[in-house]
Structure 1
Amino acid sequence: MPIPRARATRCRLLCVVAVGLVVLIAACTPDPPGRIGGDAVAVAGLPPTPPMGWNSWNTFGCNITEQIVRAQADALVSSGLRDAGYRYVVVDDCWAADQRAADGSLQADPARFPSGMAALGTYLHERGLQFGIYSGASEQTCTQFQGTHPGSTGSRGHEKQDARTFADWQVDYLKYDWCSSDSDHDHQVEAFTAMRDGIRDTGRPILYSINPNSGVSGSVPGTRYDWGGVATMTRVTNDIEPKWSTDTGSSGSQGITDIVDAIAPLAARVRPSSYNDPDMLVVGVDGDPGLTVAEQRTQMSMWAMMAAPLMAGNDLTRMSQATIDILRNRSILAIDQDQRVSAGAPVDNDPEIWARAIGEKGIVVSLTNRAGHPRRMSVPLTSLGLVGDKTVSAVDAWSGRRYQASGGRLSADVGVHDTVVLQIA
């Protein structure tokens, strides 16, 4: 059947306890009531906070090999990113042989991964890392569906067998794309739920990351529906590009501000072990024109404000010091990994100003300058639920600079396309 018409937007008030007072931020979720799959977590036994790691696709695409993955894993360790929390190493599309084995099981491409996937998993685990792998929820993976890679080795109809194979290989993370022009919602639910159930049956806590948007035109299923009972993390946008904005809405790849605006209404979906996925980090990823250092700081800032997964996509073996410093900024990572797992949302419907609850009584405010010139930006204390004449100070997560509220407002100078992240003390 066709995808049903979207129902009226629901708005929930997110209660943010900030400095002993209550802040109410409206989070409007344009989807039908209830989570697909129910209120329980999709896969039990996983950490409550968003995953951090690295994914091969944005830099290597189908050119991925065993040697590349091992080199990237070693760089995660030597750069200090592993110790900062980046643990998952995810091998995206094109790792598998063109055909399944005689018994129907998936097998590694013998030229690209001659040692096999189980051996690769062992290599990662020995280095204190976790092993991620890719498959498709349809008969084909995305590159096979697009005709850029041979074969038909998606997991549709093989869910239990493939889940068992992944568990036998000691896989810790499964990225699972739709990859089909079939936009039938019931078919999607059936396919994604079948793999979730296959993972549950193995008894191994495999983080389950789905993308229901691949190949589907029009309204993005990841945005329209809350898949939190089916998957640990759900892509709610199309693919990211290393650009400030692509101005394509939901019909094609998206830039940083496009994705931030698309996710803003979906904060109420986020909870421990259930996250909105705004796609991978493009910090340090080459592009045309690519992101400035300020724009890269903004992506890290806003992904942290959204309590989003932090999956790097750059070449870890040739990072600049600026890239390393952005990716492992302790204050930003602490915000993203806060145990409260509460996503932020715009303040006073201003897309440039967000607030997020952290800890028991804390609040973080982000100020993003989308203009083409430096600006002094501010937020009224009353909009944060604070008394206007109250003494309030805050520390910027990036610079360590302390700010003091004045005239009932918290203000900061913000550079072009940069973001100041203020943790209120």
Structure 2
Amino acid sequence: MPPLPVSRIGRTLAGLTAAAACTAGLLAASEPASATPEPPGTSGARQTAGPYPNLAPTPPMGWNNWSYYMCDINEKTVIDNARALVRSGLAKKGYDTVTVDDCWMAKQRGPQGELVADPVKFPHGMAYIGRQLHSLGLRFGIYEDAGTATCEKYPGSLGHYRQDAQMFAGWKVDYLKFDGCNLPTQQGLTKEQTYRDAYGRMSRELRGTGRSITFSVSAPAYFQYDDERTWHQVIGWSAEVGNLWREGRDIALEKHAPAAKWSSILYNFDYNARLARLQKPGRWNDPDYLLAGDSGLTGAEIHSQMALWAMMAAPLISSTDLTRLSPTALDVLGNREIIAVDQDPLGVQGTLVHRDAGSAVLSKALKNGDRAVALFNSGDSPQTVSTTAAAAGLPAAGSYRLRDLTTGRTTRSRGAITAKDLPPHATVLYRISAR
């Protein structure tokens, strides 16, 4: 079938409550700069040719506090969740990066213009957090913003790109989530040029530190309601300056109702599933966090998010309280065969074979020649969802081997790929071989 159009659908998709909308990326506030910005093109960054280093050959995996804890974060919470990653066995399965999101810093920079950790929340400082995480065999991620202030009004990096990059490197940071709130449009530049300049500078400064820091770019999320051409252009250069990028709304927060969370998952799935042509191996579309955990979602819903994110080669970043993870949530997050679909070294995003108001079918090529096929009931009543081996892109064969990656059950088919009486919001994920 011809490729589906790359579309945001943000203006037309119904069902997402206002509560589940992005809390940190849709409004550009006008706040005075905390330091005089460097003029365009004169950041003093060491010039480095070519795109940002490929520091994420497979989609990143780990934990971030934002969706669950928001600003209610401190040293103990971060370290306790890091230890839970290790204790649960999730770290060994690839969840290896712990990222401290917004609100970790003091409201003012230090006397030399340096970022300062909140002395109450993080009394030992951020380098200490990094040492603790590294001692557990984990990677250290941190949050900052390209503008005058973060989304929660803590000091942003505008005017301090080199200083902040060098500080992060000194703290042994391995992963930077770089948001785009409060970035004023520079005189003589368009909004798109301003963002490109800002993210390009930070990209160069990170490279200039000599430390390998995976760079998560939030710029496209700030253009999701602009024209299609500009939005695609921003995603294009995001893939040059960083390793992964957020394109749209934040996933719902823990405080939101279960129905809002499910609507949020559906929304992010629908826009991200149409972006396969904008992603390539080592450069990842990011539809935001996994909500498996104490979220109020059903087992079918958290399994569907995990399966669909794996099909889309999305980053698998949990945002929940890992210290009291339910057995169901642990089984979902720790499913090795579904993780393998996400982390497949071929590095392609699965494509939509079919999508309507109540169901979706995705197919993803895997390196050994197999195909992963997801049959998703997005509706509110049981239904049969099906496709064929030919439609899913499998080669012609007398029969096919279908392995259900949740139950481990293997069956054979002459070409039909079916999930009968699939419960509401459930997904069956098959790994299919023509051998």
Mark yes or no: TM-score above 0.5: yes
1:409 and 1:217, CA in 2 relative to 1: closer, same or farther beyond 3 A? Answer: closer
| Aligned residue identity for 1:196 | S
Amino acid at match of 2:109: R
Counterparts in 2 of 1:282 and 1:41: CA distance versus 1, 3 Å: farther
Q: Residues 106 and 117 of structure 2 are in contact (CA less than 8 Å); yes or no, is this contact kept in structure 1?
A: yes
Instruction: Report the TM-score, using the length of structure 1 for normalisation.
Output: 0.83
Contact 1:307–1:337 (CA<8 Å) still a contact in 2? yes
> Which of 50, 53, 59 is the matching residue for 1:43?
53
Asked if 1:381 is matched to 2:358, the reply is no
1:297 aligned to 2:303? yes
Gapped runs of 5+ residues in structure 2?
A: 9-47, 186-190
Question: Residue 359 and residue 108 in structure 1: after superposition, are their counterparts in 2 closer, same or farther (change >3 A)?
Answer: same
Aligned partner of 1:202 in structure 2 is 209
Cα displacement string for residues 370-420 of structure 1 (whole angstroms, at most 9, x for unaligned residues)? 1222222211222134467731121011111223224x4221222211100
Distance 2:51 2:178 in 1: 17
Task: Give the TM-score normalised by the residue count of structure 2.
Answer: 0.81
SS, match of residue 367 in structure 1 = strand
Q: Deviations over 1:147-189 (max 9, x none)?
A: xxxx5x1001111110000000000000111013757111111
- What does residue range 311-330 of structure 1 map to in structure 2 within 5 Å? 311-330=317-336
Structure 2: distance between partners of 1:401 and 1:222: 42
Maintained 8 Å contact 1:285/1:313 = no
1:166 aligns with 2:168: yes
Deviations 1:272-311 (A, max 9, x none): 321001011111143xxx4211011110001100101011
CA shift for structure 1 position 225:
3.1
**Displacement of 1:81 after TM fit?**
0.8
Q: Percent identical across equivalent pairs? A: 38
Offset from partner CA, 1:20-77 (integer Å, 9 cap, x none): xxxx77254359xxxxxx9954234x24001100001111111110111111111111
The alignment partner of 1:359 has SS state of coil
One of 231, 252, 257 as aligned partner of 2:266: 257
* Larger displacement relative to structure 2 (368-377 or 156-165): 368-377
Question: How far apart are residue 335 of structure 1 and its match?
Answer: 0.5
* Distance in 1 (alpha carbons) for counterparts of 2:280 and 2:234: 16
Q: Among 236, 244, 253, which residue is 2:247 paired with?
A: 236
1:101 maps to 2:110: yes
CA distance in 2, matches of 1:163, 1:304: 31
The amino acid that maps onto 1:108 is A
The residue that corresponds to 2:400 in the other structure is: 392
Q: Secondary structure at the match of 2:241?
A: coil
Which one of 103, 121, 132 corresponds to residue 130 of structure 2? 121
| Counterpart code for 1:198 | E
Kept in 1, the 8 Å contact 2:64–2:318? The answer is yes
Establish whether residue 175 from structure 1 lines up as the match of residue 170 from structure 2: no
2:426 maps to 1:418: yes
Q: 1:345 aligns with which of 347, 351, 358?
A: 351
> Which of 266, 289, 294 is equivalent to 1:280?
289
| Corresponding letter in the other structure for 1:97 | A
2:243 is equivalent to residue 225 of structure 1: no
Pairwise CA RMSD = 2.5
Moved more, 385-394 or 64-73: 385-394
Distance 1:72 1:316 in 2: 5
CA contact (8 A) 1:222 1:234 kept: no
Structure 1: state its 5+ residue gaps.
1-23, 32-37, 145-150, 248-252
Residues 115, 244 of structure 1: CA spacing in aligned structure 2 closer, same or farther, 3 A cutoff?
Answer: closer
